[in-house]
Structure 1
Amino acid sequence: MIGGLLTVIATSPWIRAALRHGAIILAVLLFLFSLRRSGERAGSLADRLETAEKANDVQRRMLEAAARRPRDRDDLADRLRGGEF
């Protein structure tokens, strides 16, 4: 039974052409799905990078503000008197 089916497939040019075109279409569809998935992954990585950059910017600004803070009460009082605050 299977041998007869293979003989029909092997001898019929129409069936061979349909199978060849079907295989090509399947390969193109799989390629497009793969391309879409990699695009989604790249988009999520870009979002993650943007979020990390924002968090790093906030942390950097907090560290800069902490570096400029008065060291003790006397330093705070001097700054307030001098109008530097």
Structure 2
Amino acid sequence: MKVEVIKNEKDLVEIRLEGERHSFPNLLKNKLLEDKSVDYVSYILDHPSDDSARLIVRTSGKSPKKAIEEAAKDIDAELDDFAAKLKKALK
């Protein structure tokens, strides 16, 4: 996945996630919605044949960059926990 910053303002970030359609942007969006400092989050698919999504995050009280970083770390931790539990269950 390639990440390109389209807009980087105090309370708004827009990034393009190349090589992603719904799976990761939707996961990230749902995790960001758990953060009370996130006022708005959405992702957009510009064209049906395009293989990228644009993620838009607006925050108050925390930078959108920090909110995205924290959400990504939380997702990473959840996936590590899942992998460990799956490995144990499949023994």
Which category of TM-score, normalised to the shorter sequence, fits these structures? 0.3 to 0.5
Structure exhibiting the larger radius of gyration computed from Cα positions: 1
Q: Which has the higher contact order (CA 8 A, sep 6+)?
A: 2
Q: TM-score, normalised by structure 2?
A: 0.34
Q: TM-score, normalised by structure 1?
A: 0.36
